[in-house]
């Protein structure tokens, strides 16, 4: 929680959006109640601008402190890579943070949005693959005096850069992205290493320098870039990468290139698991250690070589934005495995397997739990066959199902509630909570790459949870389930939760979702963007009235897949009126229109 998340006296989860003492905590369940009272039902992404500001402050402070600890002569410049979250509110918040922050872009639309902040940002780093249009726009802005750096990602980009710089009569600010041999680590490790997708090899860097020299543009080479992949979990990898990039820097300086900046890219990780370890969704270092690792290596090697200590640029995105957003979803229903009561009325005589199964449960012996479970599974298989072949009826089967649930629980208890029971037992002991969201829209990395996010109930946190649940989303896709949780090994895990009361609004929070999730999310089953709640602070540290942006309605997502609402109304209206001449057609058309304009997520429990 990085100090932002607490539990209040009522057992509600609270957020303190910042770290100054005057900032008040906000009860998340109460905030959600207020937003719902404003007429917004369904899942909502809540952004705390104060947390984003605080992350920027903390990152800059870490480098300031590290510079003074190490007596480091170069400056530090934080740059926000907009790809991590391009939302206008996020980028504007970053730029307005009070600490001058640069912007990094990797495509033409990202460049276009970043240019709107050209007067308020100390530099814009242009990464990514570039065509002539991209290069031309960047160079024209340089010509107007804006601090734009064009980083050569592929050698082929250099010729059009030189050509356009000459024809526009612009003196460019150029960077080279080096391809390091140091391997990355974790889920994004393929961004680094000798065969990665990005950057120039040592040979290509030499060719680039020669080409620039020939064209009289060597003086433009001011920046050296690297990026070792996102979420670097090990400080050693940061250190090794620094060792390698500083050698490139020193060699380029020796060749007379006036490199002023070493841009180490992103990769500063987030401790999603709270383990402070090298696990892929954790990190084994603090912000201060990260800064010390980079500056320490640069200082040592530059001092040895008698070279100036470069200004250091980081493009940390995940570490700034992940903590500032939480997705709040409501549990809309849950299914316990049917029937906890094992005592059947009467067991049909022609079902001897069911009799035996029942006896296993009634005379359960803890010491033989494994053996009994194996026997039960075999019996249940034979009961299934008996049902398929018509020998057993529906009643016999339903009794067997109930007994299996009961036995499953007995076995689970006998085995000490193993948090990762074997997969067949798992099904019998975990409950399924239907949660009002789409994994593909709101938590794509959990689906695509098994990324872990902290997930927990927002209320009743003084009460021991009585259930273990898998979280199922709304999509008609078996992948749409959260079955990996922090602190539980393996894939088929469950989350401890309470049983919601009959009318209780039982909500869960998905934390640290402010990086990448929004933009990677997609429309599977046409579940669109959720509502977004922007929470700002007043000068006295209390919460300002939240600003809510309505999520996409069905009509919006339908348009995204090329349906014209007017054509839909025409077609469906024609069909309805053709089928029936009385009021029912009009009522149907009204109901249809309500759905078209409504929220794709559930707005009531079934």
Tell me which residues are annotated as active site.
Answer: 476
Distance between CA atoms of residues 406 and 413, nearest Å = 11
Binding of residue 312 to ligand PLP (CB under 6 A): no
Report yes or no: 354 and 392 within 8 Å, Cβ to Cβ: yes
- Concatenating the DSSP letter of every residue in 280-319 gives TTS-S--HHHHHHHHHHHHHHHHHHHTPPPPEEEE---HH
Which 501-540 residues touch ligand PLP, going by CB under 6 A? 515
For residues 218 and 324, which CB has a smaller minimum distance to ligand PLP in the complex? Answer: 324
Candidates 166-174, 315-323, 474-482, 565-573 — which segment interacts with ligand PLP by CB under 6 A? 315-323
Distance between CA atoms of residues 541 and 17, nearest Å = 9
- From residue 504, give the alpha-carbon distance in Å to each of 208, 212, 605: 65, 68, 11
Distance between CA atoms of residues 351 and 548, nearest Å = 59
For residues 177 and 483, which CB has a smaller minimum distance to ligand PLP in the complex? Answer: 177
The distance of closest approach from Cβ of residue 321 to ligand PLP in the complex, given in angstroms and rounded to an integer, is: 8
- Closest C-alpha to 198, from 209, 184, 211: 184
Among 318, 397, 406, 498, binds ligand PLP (CB under 6 A): 318
Report yes or no: 298 and 305 within 8 Å, Cβ to Cβ: no
Q: Build a one-symbol-per-residue string for 195-234: x at contacts with ligand PLP by CB under 6 A, - elsewhere.
A: --------------------------------x--xx---
Distance between CA atoms of residues 145 and 372, nearest Å = 78
Among 81, 310, 337, 480, binds ligand PLP (CB under 6 A): 81
Binding of residue 408 to ligand PLP (CB under 6 A): no
Binding of residue 266 to ligand PLP (CB under 6 A): yes
Distance between CA atoms of residues 130 and 108, nearest Å = 8
Among 54, 93, 104, 309, binds ligand PLP (CB under 6 A): 104
Among 265, 480, 509, 551, binds ligand PLP (CB under 6 A): 265
454 CB contacts (<8 Å, ≥6 apart)?
272, 274, 486, 510, 511, 512
Which 126-185 residues touch ligand PLP, going by CB under 6 A? 127
For residues 434 and 515, which CB has a smaller minimum distance to ligand PLP in the complex? Answer: 515
Cite the DSSP H helix spans in 71-152: 88-95, 108-115, 132-143
Binding of residue 238 to ligand PLP (CB under 6 A): no
Candidates 5-13, 34-42, 264-272, 584-592 — which segment interacts with ligand PLP by CB under 6 A? 264-272
For residues 217 and 268, which CB has a smaller minimum distance to ligand PLP in the complex? Answer: 268
The distance of closest approach from Cβ of residue 292 to ligand PLP in the complex, given in angstroms and rounded to an integer, is: 18
Q: Are strands 174-177 and 495-497 parallel, antiparallel or unpaired?
A: unpaired
Binding of residue 14 to ligand PLP (CB under 6 A): no
Q: Which helix (H) or strand (E) holds 532?
A: strand 531-535
Binding of residue 421 to ligand PLP (CB under 6 A): no
Candidates 248-256, 293-301, 314-322, 386-394 — which segment interacts with ligand PLP by CB under 6 A? 314-322
Candidates 199-207, 241-249, 311-319, 326-334 — which segment interacts with ligand PLP by CB under 6 A? 311-319
For residues 287 and 404, which CB has a smaller minimum distance to ligand PLP in the complex? Answer: 287
**C-beta nearest to ligand PLP: residue:** 266
| Maximal C-alpha separation, the chain | 97
For residues 66 and 85, which CB has a smaller minimum distance to ligand PLP in the complex? Answer: 85
Helix (H, G, I), strand (E, B) or coil at 140: helix
Distance between CA atoms of residues 138 and 129, nearest Å = 13
End-to-end CA distance of the chain: 34
Candidates 142-150, 238-246, 251-259, 266-274 — which segment interacts with ligand PLP by CB under 6 A? 266-274
Number of residues that bind ligand PLP (CB under 6 A): 17
Candidates 8-16, 310-318, 502-510, 551-559 — which segment interacts with ligand PLP by CB under 6 A? 310-318
- Long-range contacts: 344-349, Cβ < 8 Å, 24+? 344/399, 344/402, 344/403, 347/396, 347/399, 348/392, 348/393, 348/395, 348/396
Binding of residue 316 to ligand PLP (CB under 6 A): yes
Range 284-295 burial, b when 16+ CB lie within 10 A, else e = bbebebbbbbbb
The distance of closest approach from Cβ of residue 266 to ligand PLP in the complex, given in angstroms and rounded to an integer, is: 2
Distance between CA atoms of residues 414 and 387, nearest Å = 30
Binding of residue 27 to ligand PLP (CB under 6 A): no
Among 42, 78, 102, 317, binds ligand PLP (CB under 6 A): 317
- Interacting residue ranges for ligand PLP, rule: CB under 6 A: 81, 84, 104, 127, 227, 230-231, 265-268, 315-319, 515
């Amino acid at each position: 929680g990085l100090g932002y998340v607490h539990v209040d006296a009522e057992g509600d989860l609270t957020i303190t959006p910042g770290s100054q003492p005057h900032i008040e905590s906000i009860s998340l369940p109460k905030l959600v109640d207020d937003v719902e009272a404003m007429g917004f039902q369904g899942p909502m992404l809540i952004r705390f601008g104060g947390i984003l500001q605080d992350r920027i402050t903390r990152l800059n402070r870490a480098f300031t402190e590290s510079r003074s600890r190490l007596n480091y002569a170069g400056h530090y410049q934080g740059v926000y890579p907009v790809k991590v979250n391009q939302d206008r509110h996020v980028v504007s918040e970053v730029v307005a943070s009070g600490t001058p922050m640069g912007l990094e872009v990797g495509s033409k639309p990202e460049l276009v949005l970043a240019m709107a902040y050209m007067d308020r940002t100390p530099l814009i780093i242009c990464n990514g693959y570039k065509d002539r249009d991209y290069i031309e726009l960047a160079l024209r802005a340089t010509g107007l005096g804006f601090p734009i750096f064009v980083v050569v990602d592929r050698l082929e980009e250099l010729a059009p850069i030189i050509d356009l710089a000459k024809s526009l009569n612009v003196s460019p600010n150029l960077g080279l992205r080096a391809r390091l041999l140091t391997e990355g680590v974790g889920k994004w490790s393929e961004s680094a290493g000798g065969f990665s997708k990005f950057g120039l090899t040592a040979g290509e860097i030499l060719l680039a320098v020669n080409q620039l020299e020939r064209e009289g543009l060597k003086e433009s080479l001011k920046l050296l870039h690297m990026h070792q992949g996102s979420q670097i979990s090990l400080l050693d990898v940061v250190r090794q990468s620094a060792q390698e990039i500083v050698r490139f820097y020193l060699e380029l300086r020796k060749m007379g290139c006036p490199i002023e900046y070493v841009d180490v890219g992103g990769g500063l990780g987030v401790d999603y698991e709270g383990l402070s370890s090298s696990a892929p969704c954790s990190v084994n270092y603090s912000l201060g250690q990260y800064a010390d690792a980079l500056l320490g290596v640069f200082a040592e090697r530059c001092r040895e070589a008698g070279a100036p200590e470069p200004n250091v640029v980081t493009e940390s995105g995940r570490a700034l934005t992940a903590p500032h957003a939480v997705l709040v979803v409501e549990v809309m229903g849950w299914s316990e495995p049917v029937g906890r009561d094992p005592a059947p009325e009467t067991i049909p005589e022609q079902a001897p397997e069911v009799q035996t199964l029942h006896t296993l449960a009634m005379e359960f012996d803890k010491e033989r739990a494994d053996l009994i479970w194996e026997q039960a599974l075999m019996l249940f298989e034979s009961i299934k066959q008996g049902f398929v072949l018509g020998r057993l009826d529906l009643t016999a089967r339903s009794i067997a199902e109930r007994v299996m649930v009961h036995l499953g629980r007995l076995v689970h208890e006998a085995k000490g509630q193993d948090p990762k029971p074997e997969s067949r037992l798992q099904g019998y002991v975990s409950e399924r909570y239907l949660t009002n969201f789409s994994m593909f829209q709101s938590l794509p990395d959990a689906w695509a790459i098994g990324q872990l996010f902290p997930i927990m109930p927002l209320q009743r946190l003084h009460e021991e949870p009585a259930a273990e649940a898998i979280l199922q989303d709304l999509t008609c896709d078996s992948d749409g389930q959260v079955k990996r949780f922090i602190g539980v090994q393996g894939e088929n895990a469950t989350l401890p939760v309470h049983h919601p009361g009959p009318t209780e609004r039982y909500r869960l929070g998905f934390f640290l979702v402010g990086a990448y999730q929004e933009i990677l999310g997609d429309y599977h089953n046409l579940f669109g963007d959720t509502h977004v709640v922007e929470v700002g602070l007043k000068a006295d540290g209390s919460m300002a009235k939240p600003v809510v942006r309505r999520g996409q309605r069905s009509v919006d997502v339908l348009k995204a897949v090329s349906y014209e609402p007017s054509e839909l109304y025409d077609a469906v209206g024609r069909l309805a009126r053709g089928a029936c001449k009385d009021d029912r057609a009009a009522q149907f058309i009204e109901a249809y229109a309500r759905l078209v304009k409504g929220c794709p997520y559930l707005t009531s429990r079934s």
